[in-house]
Amino acid sequence: MTTAPAIEIHALAKHYGKVEALRGLDLRIPQGSLAGLVGLNGAGKTTTLRLLLGLARPSAGHASIFGLPCHSESDSVQIRRRTAALPEQKALFPYMTIAQVLQFTRGFYPHWRDALAQRLLDDFELDPKRKPCSLSKGQLTKLHLVLCLARGADLLLLDEPTDGLDPVATEIALQAMVSLVAESGATILLCSHRLNEIEQVADHLCFIHKGRALLDESLDDLKARARRLVLVFDHPNPAAEAALARHGRFRRDGRSVSLTLFSQNDEVEAEARSLGAVSVQSTPLNLHDLFLEMVKS
């Protein structure tokens, strides 16, 4: 029996006046995965999270979490009972102390994990007596992370969860996310511009560009097929270059040319050799390079 996906988005569109934030987005995040959601500024990442949380209504299409439609208010409450969201803007109530915010949030979630909350407060060195309005940007992010991770939620929607964090706190946060997925089987959708962090923890990648999904697949599969071939020719060979350019993004640098491929490349390597390449070097792409290549192509 197949498990329903944690998040399923089909042909989702969202217009703000004449601005098209999403233009037929399709995504499918499996349960128990730690998925990275990446894209340029204005690609539609935050809009996607807002639609999933029921903060905005779609112009067209459909989004569901655990099979429940996100646009229905009653279903949205059911969804939010099982979901923890870390918003892009990380302000909290200025009239509450950290202890009061924790107590307030705890009241909504029967599976609240006191021990984890206390451990994270200690790790992040947050004083429960302080008010959120007196915290720095990084400390606010830490507090939001405590509020999200301790809820015992089945799904976490995290928008820039390491924003403003120092390297130590970032490591603690990433470790906590991985542990949560491993121990409780929760699903995390991690929206961030810090590609090295996504590469470190994610097992699934969604790449949104101009309101559409360009990628939605396992990160391991993607990294297995996405490679850069560096080819060296004895002399300029325009015919070979033209033939190879149809396989992927092509760039000349003196006698060598590089070819970025997003599909199996054994045949391309063989073709390059047959076209006169004296050296063929295949290297895997890291997520940063992959991102840049996707955007450029």
Contacts to other proteins by CB under 8 A: 50, 53-57, 73-74, 77-78, 80-81, 83-85, 87-89, 91-96, 100, 103-108, 144, 147
Beta carbon of residue 88, minimum distance to other proteins (angstroms, whole number): 7
Closest to other proteins by CB, 59 or 282: 59
Closest to other proteins by CB, 15 or 252: 15
Beta carbon of residue 50, minimum distance to other proteins (angstroms, whole number): 8
Beta carbon of residue 141, minimum distance to other proteins (angstroms, whole number): 12
Closest to other proteins by CB, 44 or 54: 54
Beta carbon of residue 19, minimum distance to other proteins (angstroms, whole number): 13
Residue 41, Cβ density class (10 Å: 0-12 exposed, 13-18 middle, ≥19 buried):
exposed
- Residue 160 · residue 191 · CB < 8 Å: yes
The CB density around residue 12, as the number of other CB atoms within 10 Å, is 27
Handedness of CA 284, 190, 16, 6 (dihedral sign): positive
The C-alpha atoms of residue 179 and residue 156 are separated, in whole angstroms, by: 13
Closest to other proteins by CB, 21 or 294: 21
Closest to other proteins by CB, 104 or 182: 104
Closest to other proteins by CB, 77 or 295: 77
Beta carbon of residue 60, minimum distance to other proteins (angstroms, whole number): 15
Closest to other proteins by CB, 151 or 204: 151
Beta carbon of residue 44, minimum distance to other proteins (angstroms, whole number): 15
Beta carbon of residue 89, minimum distance to other proteins (angstroms, whole number): 4
